[in-house]
Structure 1
Amino acid sequence: MLKFPCLVLDHDDTVVRSTPTIHYPAFAKTLKTLRPDVNWTLEQFVAYNFDPGFEAMCRDILHFTPEEMNFQEASWRAWSAANIPPAFEGMEELLRRYRLQNGVVCVVSHSSEETIRRDYHQHFGFEPDLVFGWELGADKRKPAPWPLEQIMAHFSLKPQQLLMVDDLKPGWQMAKSCGVPFAFAGWGCSVESIQHFMHQNADYDLRQVSELQQLVL
């Protein structure tokens, strides 16, 4: 019997290595157009995505207008459509074994549902049971508790039967608000401040995909 019957996975830099290959290059290209005087490193971009978060970063730090937000989103979608990020080593085996034991796989992410389902089909040969992506809007997007509430209601599960796996704060905030255990996906993170926060606050501080496999299987 699985310790966690439902695995709730973030997508970017948890299941696939997408920030270095898609999100950062796309955003750097956007900055060259909208804010040519801003030159962030990959580490700075990741740190701002962690705190204050992507939307707040665009709104409060870069002061994007609604029109500029639409421009950056269109640029990001174009880059995402043209590129499939690589899956982390060990993730395919983990998900295959987990599903063989009738585990439920859900995704709560700031990527689009279309992109998530494409990546799962490409790398793992199946699509998640439920996907909650960026297009749902701010009130239904993590860190809002709505995705986890929907998952628990749909599968008649209690909070302790889920495990939220994420590399950034919105996933931790969402899990905490619902009483769902949280595991830090540290295999895709090299930013020391994020590692420190997660070491202090995550229920499970994981640095390798193999550690997640040992935990859930």
Structure 2
Amino acid sequence: MQFKCLILDHDDTAVNSTAEIHYPAHLEVMRVLRPHLVPVSLDEWFLKNFNPGIMEYLIEELGFSEAEVQIEYRIWREHTTRTIPHFFPDILNA
């Protein structure tokens, strides 16, 4: 039986949002704000989400100022509004 419904994704439960939106946004942020640093890998990005957490990573590890955090947010919002991530395989068949 299938139903029409709205699925709200949180933390990559239904769609591949980190790999397809959040990490590419971070790569752009690094190109703009810290071009001299090598960005973390996707696997490392997943880990940074949980330890120390994104804001702590941006402020404490990368040394972002408040103005840079605002630039980061703008870039992230651009990515979230223009990219629709793909569903994980078979999620629509569940």
TM-score norm. by structure 1 comes to 0.37
2:80 equivalent to 1:45: no
Once the two structures are superposed, residues 158-202 of structure 1 have per-residue CA deviations (whole angstroms, 9 ceiling, x without a partner) of: xxxxxxxxxxxxxxxxxxxxxxxxxxxxxxxxxxxxxxxxxxxxx
Query: Comparing both chains, which one has the higher relative contact order based on Cα–Cα distances under 8 Å and sequence gaps of 6 or more?
Result: 2
Higher Cα radius of gyration: 1
Task: State the SS of the aligned residue for 2:10.
Answer: coil
- The offset of 1:49, in angstroms, is 1.2
- Provide the rounded CA distance (Å) in 1 between the counterparts of 2:42 and 2:25: 12
Question: After TM superposition, where is structure 1 displaced by more than 6 Å over at least 4 residues in a row?
Answer: none
TM-score norm. by structure 2 comes to 0.80
2:26 equivalent to 1:27: yes
User: Which one has a larger percent strand, Structure 1 or Structure 2?
Assistant: 1
Count of residue correspondences: 86
- Provide the rounded CA distance (Å) in 2 between the counterparts of 1:88 and 1:29: 24
- Provide the rounded CA distance (Å) in 1 between the counterparts of 2:84 and 2:15: 9
Once the two structures are superposed, residues 134-173 of structure 1 have per-residue CA deviations (whole angstroms, 9 ceiling, x without a partner) of: xxxxxxxxxxxxxxxxxxxxxxxxxxxxxxxxxxxxxxxx
Q: Is the 8 A contact 2:9 2:15 kept in 1?
A: no
Aligned to 2:90: 90
Question: In structure 2, do the counterparts of structure 1 residues 14 and 38 end up closer, same or farther at CA, with 3 Å as the change threshold?
Answer: farther
Task: State the SS of the aligned residue for 2:52.
Answer: coil
- The offset of 1:12, in angstroms, is 3.3
- The offset of 1:69, in angstroms, is 0.6
Question: In structure 2, do the counterparts of structure 1 residues 88 and 52 end up closer, same or farther at CA, with 3 Å as the change threshold?
Answer: same
- The offset of 1:93, in angstroms, is 3.5
- Provide the rounded CA distance (Å) in 2 between the counterparts of 1:11 and 1:91: 14
